[in-house]
Amino acid sequence: MVKWNTHINIVYVLRFKYGVIIVHFIVIFTPYITPEVTMSIAEVYDNVTVCKIEEKFSLQKITDTVLEGNYPLEPFQAGARGTYGGEFVAQGILAAWETVEDPDFSPHSFHSYFLKAGSHESVMRWEVTKTMQGRNYCNRLVHCYQKHNNQLCFILTASFTRNNSIHQRKLDYATNPDNKIPFEFQRSPQYFFDKYYDKLDEMPYYEHTNGNLQHIIPPEFRTGMPSDFLSQETGMRDIGFFLRVNDDVNLAKDKLKAKLVSMAFASDSLYLSLLVCSLGIPLTIDVFEFFRVSLDHTVYYHDIDFDPTKWLFLDYRFSRMSNDRVLCQCQVFNEKGNMVVSIIQEAIALIPKKFIEKAVGGSYKL
């Protein structure tokens, strides 16, 4: 359905006639395609025939570089303040991707800043700048505005590359050695991966973020961390848990986009809540009661060989805390133990004194 856009461009034209300045106002109306949304977000969640993440973050193109969400972005749970950060990054990377014409391109990294809390009162408008378009790489700059008040909430820069699959590159090299050598190396996941991956079907998980995410946290975080964990420097203590998106990407119209957008959505989930675990404090309900908010968020897609609806392992550490800011560095491993994604985030974290006094490591006194 086509309507006329309420955003009016007014052009002022000045000319002289008989020594008098005459001002002409030319009003330009631009066509606006209203979103063909037939479901509420609640109906999206209940619909077993669609990929929820794909539909939830779907966009309508207003122009070649301006897009608008079909559904308002949500907080991580009803009643919470602001928009869950994963919603910003998921729809943001999709908005950037929608302006990339070459189907062989997919994102290999994005860097973003959370500016304002966001609201579910209206959808988001995404304005994309095509900052660079090359043969093997391209870049996009994205500004996110809340529609009802035109407030800038979030910015993202994304970089895209051609054929980001190491498996496919190895297949191509095997048949044609003239291709670039697909050399790779990586670090392995820490011991929680080997200890629990084959036992995940027997372990309890909890579901959250409007039913879209599921986590399994190793029992050591509740019962107390082993002594070899506590003997390490605080910034060297590796924490890990398992994560999956509660969805079916096989139902998606574009499976690759749904897969990478789902990973972006999950990439802002939970780990800040476990900051106190790096201090050697067991998980109880009250340890979640401290202020933390993300400042910036960076994701690197090393490879596309993963399924976010299967259990992934998040291996991370809080390498530095200073001046009320904490730096989290996270690696994501697929079921084969291959590192497929890295996440870096800085956040404001105000740890209560009652936790600091119990901490094994860290300092605040002269």
The domains located in the chain, with CATH, are 44-163 (3.10.129.10), 172-365 (3.10.129.10)
CB atoms within 10 A of CB 218: 18
Tens digits of residue pLDDT in 198-242: 999 999 999 999 999 999 999 998 888 888 899 999 999 999 999
CB atoms within 10 A of CB 307: 17
Count the alpha carbons within 13 Å of 149 in the hemisphere toward its beta carbon.
9
Distance CA 291, CA 355 (A): 13
Tens digits of residue pLDDT in 301-356: 999 999 999 999 999 999 999 999 999 999 999 999 999 999 999 999 999 999 99
Count the alpha carbons within 13 Å of 322 in the hemisphere toward its beta carbon.
3
Instruction: Quote the distance between the C-alpha of residue 314 and its chain's center.
Output: 14
Tens digits of residue pLDDT in 2-49: 444 444 444 444 454 555 555 554 444 444 455 566 689 999 999 999
Instruction: Tell me which of 115-129, 178-192, 270-284 is least confident.
Output: 270-284
| Length of the chain as a residue count | 366
Q: Are 98 and 107 spatial neighbours (Cβ–Cβ below 8 Å)?
A: no
Helix (H) or strand (E) holding 46: helix 41-46
Torsion of CA 214, 218, 224, 229, to 10 degrees: -120
- Which residue's entry shows tokens 């590796």? 238
Q: Are 250 and 226 spatial neighbours (Cβ–Cβ below 8 Å)?
A: no
Q: Are 56 and 41 spatial neighbours (Cβ–Cβ below 8 Å)?
A: yes
Tens digits of residue pLDDT in 117-166: 999 999 999 999 999 999 999 999 999 999 999 999 999 999 999 999 99
**pTM (2 d.p.):** 0.89
DSSP 8-state secondary structure symbol assigned to residue 189 = P
Question: Tokens at residue 109, please?
Answer: 């990294």
Which of left, alpha, beta for 183 (phi over 0: left; psi -120 to 50: alpha)? beta
